[in-house]
Amino acid sequence: MAHSTLHYFRWAFIVTAIGIALAGWLGWVTYGNIGGMLSFLMIGVVLAILEISLSFDNAIVNANKLKDMTPVWQKRFLTWGILIAVFGMRIIFPLAVVAIAAKIGPWAAIKLAATEPDTYAHIMHEAHLGIAAFGGAFLMMVALNFFISEAKEVDWIRMVECHLRRCASIRGLQITVVALILLVFASILPEGESATFLFAGLFGLVTFTVVEIIGHLLDSYEEAQATARAGGLGAFLYLEVLDASFSFDGVIGAFALTQNLFLIAIGLGIGAMYVRSMTIMLVEKKTLAQFRYLEHGAFYSIFALAVIMFAQSMVHVHEMITGLIGAGLILIALYSSMRYNRKNGSETSTAE
């Protein structure tokens, strides 16, 4: 049964209404006046828009992976996965970073967020270098693995992608490229920061490799046992780590707007629900099959985000710029896909 576009976003709309109400209540409790309430309402809306703009590519990549999963594991990712994404990355992750950096317990970190938001935000910003290196390395591996692949059949920017596909036979090329980039940035950074950057980047590289190995092992087990459960688990783990890497930029960037952890969780949580809705719509409507270059735009966007995360180790790049670059690349890919469909008369054939 075909659903209208609005049908896919009904839960996102419900969460938006609840989130906006909570943001307003939080503003009233914090400041005790209408001005504070309106301020928190506005920041909550901006945070949600920031998360959505940064996560178009996340939804597309999620949909690409989900379409090959069984319905059972699709449902598990879209229920358990979204809970992990909202509560794990938007609440527990910032608390864990502060707890580790400040060498305090989780409860003390929560108290610090509630009573000393400026100190809390300062600790989060101090940890930004390592987070940027880890996320940048992981996301760059995701992008390069898509483009440097013998299995890739469709090229969007042929001048670039044909050459990259031909390099797929060179073993370890992606890891070598990312490792070299890490070494270049580490050599430019001040001595006190280079070790932190390099360690975090290598940890991101190793994390990607470990997740890939686990995925392949579970997929092999799935084939041997003729069951989709294990392979679904491998894809589930991959998507969770991928979502975490996408979330780093939004979580860190949110502290530029407010130091209130709970308001950040509300705003980014609303955005995460729209990402979930977009993912479901892309899978059920088979949008990726109808627009052949949309996936390419998402992976170019991921590559751009990885480069920006590396660059942020030296200069600040505003999160709105990051979001506009990502959304712009996807819109260009969408336009190219529509042109291709018109030229080849394939709108109906691809949708069937």
Q: Global pTM?
A: 0.73
Provide the sign of the torsion angle of the four alpha carbons 223, 227, 232, 234, taken in this order.
negative
> Residue 25's pLDDT is what?
92
What's the rounded Cα separation, in Å, for the pair 110 and 98? Answer: 9
Place of tokens 């999160």: 319
Is 41 or 228 the better-scoring residue by pLDDT? 41
User: What average pLDDT is seen over the chain?
Assistant: 79
Contacts of 300 (CB under 8 A, 6+ apart): 143, 329, 333
Q: How many CB atoms lie within 10 A of CB 299?
A: 23
Residue 291 in tokens: 């627009």
Are 291 and 19 in contact, with CB atoms under 8 Å apart? no
> Residue 226's pLDDT is what?
45
Q: Which range among 139-143, 204-208, 242-246 shows the weakest confidence by mean pLDDT?
A: 242-246
Judged by DSSP in three states, 293 sits in coil
Q: What is the largest CA-CA distance in the chain?
A: 64
> Residue 220's pLDDT is what?
60
Are 209 and 175 in contact, with CB atoms under 8 Å apart? yes
How does pLDDT run across 168-184, given as a tens digit for each residue? 888 888 999 999 999 99
Judged by DSSP in three states, 2 sits in coil
How does pLDDT run across 52-106, given as a tens digit for each residue? 766 677 788 778 777 777 778 778 887 787 777 666 776 777 777 777 777 778 7
The DSSP output letter for 169 is G
CA 11 to chain centre: 20
Residue 51 in tokens: 């998360």
> Residue 253's pLDDT is what?
63
Question: Would the pLDDT of 348 be above 50?
Answer: no
Q: Where are the domains of the chain?
A: 5-351
How does pLDDT run across 186-239, given as a tens digit for each residue? 999 888 889 889 998 998 898 888 877 876 676 565 455 444 444 467 777 777
